[in-house]
Amino acid sequence: MAGILELAAANLLSPMVLFFALGLAAALARSDLSIPEAVAKGMSIYLMMAIGFKGGAGVAAHGLDATLGLALLAGVILSAIIPLVAFQILIRASDLPRVDAAAVVAHYGSISIVTFLAANEALKISGIEAESYMVAVAAAMETPAIFVGLILAQSGVASTSHGENGKAPVGNLDTTALREVVLNGSIVVLVGSFVIGWVSGPAGLSSIEPFIVSPFKGVLCLFLLDMGLIAGRGLRDGSKQLSPSVVAFGLYMPLIGAAFGLVAGLLVGLSTGGVALMITLSASASYIAVPAAMRLALPEARPAIYLPLSLGVTFPFNLVIGIPLYIALAQAVSG
Amino acid sequence: MAGILELAAANLLSPMVLFFALGLAAALARSDLSIPEAVAKGMSIYLMMAIGFKGGAGVAAHGLDATLGLALLAGVILSAIIPLVAFQILIRASDLPRVDAAAVVAHYGSISIVTFLAANEALKISGIEAESYMVAVAAAMETPAIFVGLILAQSGVASTSHGENGKAPVGNLDTTALREVVLNGSIVVLVGSFVIGWVSGPAGLSSIEPFIVSPFKGVLCLFLLDMGLIAGRGLRDGSKQLSPSVVAFGLYMPLIGAAFGLVAGLLVGLSTGGVALMITLSASASYIAVPAAMRLALPEARPAIYLPLSLGVTFPFNLVIGIPLYIALAQAVSG
Amino acid sequence: MAGILELAAANLLSPMVLFFALGLAAALARSDLSIPEAVAKGMSIYLMMAIGFKGGAGVAAHGLDATLGLALLAGVILSAIIPLVAFQILIRASDLPRVDAAAVVAHYGSISIVTFLAANEALKISGIEAESYMVAVAAAMETPAIFVGLILAQSGVASTSHGENGKAPVGNLDTTALREVVLNGSIVVLVGSFVIGWVSGPAGLSSIEPFIVSPFKGVLCLFLLDMGLIAGRGLRDGSKQLSPSVVAFGLYMPLIGAAFGLVAGLLVGLSTGGVALMITLSASASYIAVPAAMRLALPEARPAIYLPLSLGVTFPFNLVIGIPLYIALAQAVSG
Amino acid sequence: METFKKKRIEIVIEALVLKRLLEVFEKHQVGGYTVYSAQAGSGKSGAWQADGVISGTSELRVVFCIVDASRVDQVLEPVFKLVSRHIGIVTVSDVDVIRGDQFV
Amino acid sequence: METFKKKRIEIVIEALVLKRLLEVFEKHQVGGYTVYSAQAGSGKSGAWQADGVISGTSELRVVFCIVDASRVDQVLEPVFKLVSRHIGIVTVSDVDVIRGDQFV
Amino acid sequence: METFKKKRIEIVIEALVLKRLLEVFEKHQVGGYTVYSAQAGSGKSGAWQADGVISGTSELRVVFCIVDASRVDQVLEPVFKLVSRHIGIVTVSDVDVIRGDQFV
Ligand SMILES: Nc1ncnc2c1ncn2[C@@H]1O[C@H](COP(=O)(O)O)[C@@H](O)[C@H]1O
Ligand SMILES: Nc1ncnc2c1ncn2[C@@H]1O[C@H](COP(=O)(O)O)[C@@H](O)[C@H]1O
Ligand SMILES: Nc1ncnc2c1ncn2[C@@H]1O[C@H](COP(=O)(O)O)[C@@H](O)[C@H]1O
Ligand code: NA
Ligand code: NA
Ligand code: NA
């Protein structure tokens, strides 16, 4: 128990969390601080490239674990099941229309790559190793939840007020949109870099290490400053639209997801670090791939609900409280 | 004396000064070279983050010097007094309207963070240490000068031709503008990173060192290329508006400011490096926080005067001649 | 022979080539992946600055080779002669109008700096040294081809259908345009950084090494991802306009250029690495300075021909097949 | 100079949907269009700002195309159908051009 | 398609003052607006260019809002008062929109 | 508020040629202009997109200037001459301004 608190305190005072807090505070205080869009996108691509490449190079170095296939499968299943569970909870706990609820839960089935990165760094500080292919599991969990979310929205369309007045059917995911979801830029960079890292192996990694490894954590801090700014802005403007029951969902849903991730991680037989990452992925909520897919395929759902919930409530919760908790959990159970 | 010349020569041939010269030359030759705005802003945020964090981590490492409080106080006083002195000089030496003169002198009370960075690098090359909290002094000197400048403008408004025809009163700094001045993005990042560096200490610093320490000087060179481009453009377009007496002010005022900084640094009891930095801060002129504040609170003052003067005259003077001089001065007096 | 194949295989699986391939594949699959323009420009400036500086510092370190003057002269001559040869071939082999053919061949006389960078990295991996001033040769080869191309266009204007209906004469390179061509931003950074590197020498280099040397290859990979995206987009949209005979020209012309470069490199008396770079420069085709100059001075020529040809055909050919071939050639002949 | 009367259709639309809007243009053989990025805005769906955003969700684009008055309705209908499902607005105004045959 | 006549107010203003302009909009209940970045310009106060600039001082923004003709004066007056103290210009033009009730 | 009728000339032109266009403006004493970046477009010369491009070749800019109706022809002629040699278009529309003497 002392371990958890210590880990939590260390986490709370880590540069990553503090830069996020700085961004949050600046936005809430209405400072004019902002990271240019191009720089934010550049950092996002950098982070995807780095994490993918390192994961792939790790697989090349340590060989393919027999559990990789299982872990990928578990990831896909988690990504599909968590939204179903979350939907049953959210529709009862709040008065959100079905369409909005469906969009929200798709975020919770999918994953937040920055939460994953922060958990990786926390593991590193604690000296715990994890399977390098976990980044592939992260990639595998990105999209299944989207399809489940759309099906949930579809099945409920007749009963919502949004679909009534003769509009096009919701959740209309044609092949163009399908391709756009699957070929989302950030997923392409993540998966592509994983493959490149795998093919070019440790030699390839060492040749670009001073770019993708050494400055990585610093870039992540700057990126978290930006995420703090966006989260703060979202909370400032969107707080009127988020009812207390929805905010509460954003706080307890990660723990439910975590429980699923924990079970899956143990069943698959991952290492302590791997279990911690599986928990983190399950507990985290998307704010890149899923919102984009929802705008395309489910425009009726309100982004003013799902964006601040994912970015302003669940993301900070995971960053500050969740990650040390999940690591402690993994240690307690699989140690 | 040979020491100064040697230092000056080394400074003149340093990559930092040469990249600034390259930018200046490119702009004057009307090359189409330009640094994208987003990249320039990203570098600016990076530099603030790095210098703030390093300063804070330094304070955490070396403990709080008893002189910190005194140094901060001295900074605030310098920032307020220098504009008063500068105003008396400028209003006599040139025929600038009071409003323009008030805006100009506010720049000279405040500070240029890049000049401060360049002085830091020059100290490092000379093997001279300085108090790490000097970056906090820099932050403290950013804004007081703004208020003094506005008061100077206010008191003179009746006598200028700008305020006559029933316009709103100048220097009208309402609470919104006040917050905007104090919460200027670059000040927030600088102060916030200082606090984060302090809290997370040397361990935090070492975790992001490959991002904020190692490449720092290279980024500064690229940033100076950009500043050279802007200074060159400003001189090209603005040279008609700058009378010889105003240009002269941009060259001798840093020396007057330096004298104030020297006295203050000695009174506070700073180390040789600290005195050199205090001189540099006093001698430097703002080109971020003050111009922005002037546009908001004193729109009648012409940016075509104060921007090229600060960026195109005083900044290069300090970069090329001032810094080695200030270091030599600090060594001579406090050595 | 086995050596070539091995080198080719190693090259094919290098992160640089693989990231280019990722970009190409993403663009052809119509992924929405894109690198923000500002980031791409920032990287481009970074690469020019780094390669120029390293070259200049190298000259400062190793002293001025007696062959530098000869190599520069050879570069200028190659840049002027290759377009003449290429024009005779292209005008016979394809049915391109003279104006388009003249614009195309100007690209082949000039050089691609990224191809040069990739060849440098390949040499480093093979443990072959090259003269550091070769980057100055690269700079010298940038522009002569442009003037030759414009003269070729001019001489043929009466016989083309584009110039008939009383329009302004083509290839009208007034002094403004001349300055714009010569003071192109990327050339200014390249040459300026070379001079700065030379002046500030190894000491200057070591002070900014963590910025311009260590992460260099990683940035190059990200830049190649972007080039893959642009090449893929160009091929996707421009493939209708490129006839098979023009595409073929894009594949065999580098080999002809390479032959010229080989002869020149041997005559000048370069080292094995120097010969390999001279071949690479001669074989490569411009996609920055020349297209920009053509739009200004020869707007009648269609960019939809020369851009995808240079970037989508010749660049990948050189990157994947050319470079290992040119290195093997240089080793075989000058070893 | 002699000029010809044309119509300028201007559309503000969320960035993610731009691709579909351009497909509509292609389908209805709109001869040309220009896209630029909006940086912030406000409307029925609330206020937004592009700075620092990484998902692309809250970015908007402005697209304008110059077409002949005779074709406005034909283009406007499918465009409006698309835009009204998403975040965005459509306006039409008068412009004069120099070469009439260029904008059909 | 049936369209409705509205007014488009377009304002070029220095970036630092944008926040205040939007506050004016809010105060006068302007239903929507769009902001984009200008990259360069020239006027009474001389020429400027955004590239590479770090202080934000010489950046300008363009803002347009579609309002009903009946409300133009009400909006224009405070907007013009603000803009005339700063660097910037204001223009008004006619546009047609499809849903009239959306722009009030 | 009292307004004055002026003309708005809007030009889409490739970025590399912008400098020359602004020289034309200067030569004909155009009192002001604003430039912004287009992000993508399509026309006779095909489609283009600015993202990721490093040569500047396929970037376009949009420039607008408000001038008095009496001066439109004088400005339009050299502008059109320049644009028609390059990639780009020119349109003219009506706007109202508040201070008439500001736009000549
Ligand atoms: N009809 C149009 N409407 C709006 N923009 C256009 C139109 N035609 C051309 N453009 C813009 O002008 C650029 C050059 O046109 P063009 O010279 O026809 O290729 C295009 O890439 C578009 O950005
Ligand atoms: N009245 C208006 N004037 C100008 N732009 C508007 C207006 N209404 C909406 N917009 C723009 O269109 C976007 C989407 O509008 P809406 O769908 O109403 O939220 C807004 O974010 C603005 O950028
Ligand atoms: N006649 C004009 N046409 C278009 N834009 C203008 C005009 N006059 C001024 N502007 C824009 O408004 C900004 C400020 O104008 P000013 O306050 O006159 O310096 C200029 O930098 C331009 O971006
Ligand atoms: Na999840
Ligand atoms: Na000062
Ligand atoms: Na060549």
Beta-carbon pairs below 8 A across chains A and D: 63
- The mean pLDDT of F39-62, rounded to a whole number, is 87
Longest dimension (CA), chain A: 60
Per the DSSP assignment, residues forming a β-bridge with D34 are D64, F41
The pLDDT of residue B329 is above 60: yes
User: Could you tell me the CA-to-CA distances from B236 to A27, B26, B27, B114, B241 in Å, in that order?
Assistant: 38, 11, 8, 22, 11
Question: Which residue, among A204, A181, A140, has the nearest Cα to C19 in the 3D structure?
Answer: A204
- Inspect the interface and report whether the beta carbons of E93 and F96 lie closer than 8 Å: yes
Band of the pLDDT at C1, cuts 50, 70, 90? Answer: low
Copy the structure tokens of residue B82.
Answer: 């220098």
C-beta of residue D35 within 8 angstroms of C-beta of residue D61: yes
- The mean pLDDT of B232-253, rounded to a whole number, is 90
**CA-nearest residue of chain D to F60?**
D34
**Candidate from A163-177, B99-113, B174-188, B264-278 with smallest mean pLDDT:** A163-177
pLDDT tens digits for E12-46? 999 999 999 999 999 999 999 999 999 999 998 88
Mean model confidence pLDDT for chain B? 91
What span, in angstroms and rounded, lies between the C-alpha atoms of C122 and C105? 27
DSSP string of A217-253? HHHHHHHHHHHHHHHHHHHHHHTTT--HHHHHHHHHH
Q: Is A186 left (phi over 0), alpha (psi -120 to 50) or beta?
A: alpha
- The mean pLDDT of D80-88, rounded to a whole number, is 93
Owner of token pair 């798709």: A106
Asked if A204 has any chain C CB less than 8 Å from its own CB, the reply is yes
Mark which residues 61-80 of F lie under 8 Å from E by CB: 61, 66
Question: Would you state the torsion angle of the CA atoms of residues B21, B23, B27, B32, taken in this order, to the nearest 10 degrees?
Answer: 150
DSSP F67: E
Instruction: Give me the helix-helix angle, C185-212 and C37-62, nearest 10°.
Output: 80
| Sequence-distant (≥ 6) Cβ neighbours of residue A228 within 8 angstroms | A19, A20, A21, A22, A23, A24, A25, A26, A27
Report the sign of the C-alpha dihedral through residues D11, D17, D23, D28, in that order: negative
Q: Which of the listed residues E33, E98, E99 should we mutate to test ligand 2's pocket, taking the one with most ligand atoms within 8 A of CB?
A: E33
- pLDDT number for residue B313: 96
Q: Whose CA is nearest to atom 13 of ligand 2?
A: D88
What span, in angstroms and rounded, lies between the C-alpha atoms of B136 and B132? 8
User: Could you tell me the CA-to-CA distances from A315 to A116, A193, A254, B140, B200 in Å, in that order?
Assistant: 11, 25, 9, 34, 21
User: Could you tell me the CA-to-CA distances from C215 to A208, C37, C208, D24 in Å, in that order?
Assistant: 7, 21, 11, 44
pLDDT tens digits for C51-66? 999 999 999 998 887 8
- pLDDT number for residue F77: 94
- The mean pLDDT of C169-191, rounded to a whole number, is 79
- The mean pLDDT of B195-210, rounded to a whole number, is 95
DSSP E36: E
- The mean pLDDT of E55-81, rounded to a whole number, is 93
- The mean pLDDT of C280-292, rounded to a whole number, is 95
Q: Which residue ranges have their beta carbon within 6 Å of ligand 2?
A: D 12, 38, 41-45, 48, 60, 87-89; E 31-34, 64-66, 103
| F100 within ligand 3 shell (Cβ under 6 A) | no
What span, in angstroms and rounded, lies between the C-alpha atoms of D22 and D9? 13
The pLDDT of residue F58 is above 90: no
3 state DSSP class of B187: helix
| Sequence-distant (≥ 6) Cβ neighbours of residue E87 within 8 angstroms | B299, E13, E14, E43, E45, E60
C-beta of residue C296 within 8 angstroms of C-beta of residue F17: yes
Question: Which residue, among A111, A130, A105, A108, has the nearest Cα to A120 in the 3D structure?
Answer: A130
For chain A, list residues with pLDDT below 50. Answer: 158-170
Q: Element (H or E) spanning C81, and its range?
A: helix C68-93
What span, in angstroms and rounded, lies between the C-alpha atoms of A153 and A151? 5
- Inspect the interface and report whether the beta carbons of D57 and A295 lie closer than 8 Å: yes
DSSP D17: G
Provide the shortest C-alpha distance from residue F63 to chain E (in Å): 9
| F84 within ligand 1 shell (Cβ under 6 A) | no
- The neighbour count for residue D1, using CB atoms within 10 Å, is 12
Band of the pLDDT at B5, cuts 50, 70, 90? Answer: confident
The ipTM, to two decimals, is 0.95
Classify strands F33-37 and E60-67 as parallel, antiparallel or unpaired: unpaired
More confident residue, E96 or B159: E96
What span, in angstroms and rounded, lies between the C-alpha atoms of F93 and D97? 9
Residues of chain A neighbouring C218 (CB-CB closer than 8 A): 208-212
pLDDT tens digits for C36-48? 999 999 999 999 9
3 state DSSP class of D41: strand
Per the DSSP assignment, residues forming a β-bridge with E4 are E97
Q: Which of the listed residues F10, F12, F45, F87 should we mutate to test ligand 1's pocket, taking the one with most ligand atoms within 8 A of CB?
A: F12
Per the DSSP assignment, residues forming a β-bridge with E7 are E67, E94
pLDDT tens digits for C126-136? 999 999 999 99
- The mean pLDDT of F59-77, rounded to a whole number, is 95
Please provide residue C18's backbone torsions phi and psi, each rounded to the nearest 5 degrees.
-70, -35
Q: How far is the CA of A145 from the centre of ligand 4 (A)?
A: 9
- pLDDT number for residue B163: 39
- pLDDT number for residue C162: 43
The pLDDT of residue C115 is above 70: yes
- Inspect the interface and report whether the beta carbons of C292 and F14 lie closer than 8 Å: no
> What does the radius of gyration of chain C's CA atoms come to, in whole angstroms?
19
- pLDDT number for residue A335: 64
Mutant choice from D39, D48, D71, D96 vs E, greatest count of E C-beta within 10 A: D39
Band of the pLDDT at B20, cuts 50, 70, 90? Answer: very high
* Residue A178, burial from CB neighbour count under 10 angstroms (0-12, 13-18, 19+): middle
User: Could you tell me the CA-to-CA distances from C238 to C110, C117, C307, F47 in Å, in that order?
Assistant: 22, 27, 9, 10
Mean model confidence pLDDT for chain C? 91
Question: Which residue, among C101, A191, D90, C334, has the nearest Cα to E34 in the 3D structure?
Answer: D90
Q: How far is the CA of C31 from the centre of ligand 4 (A)?
A: 24
| F45 within ligand 1 shell (Cβ under 6 A) | yes
- pLDDT number for residue D92: 97
| F3 within ligand 1 shell (Cβ under 6 A) | no
C-beta of residue A190 within 8 angstroms of C-beta of residue A113: yes
- Inspect the interface and report whether the beta carbons of D66 and F44 lie closer than 8 Å: no
The pLDDT of residue B245 is above 90: yes
Copy the structure tokens of residue E68.
Answer: 């009903």
- The neighbour count for residue C236, using CB atoms within 10 Å, is 16
- Which ligand lies nearest to the CA atom of residue C315 in the structure? 6
pLDDT tens digits for B131-145? 999 999 999 999 999
More confident residue, B169 or A268: A268
Copy the structure tokens of residue C140.
Answer: 């010298």
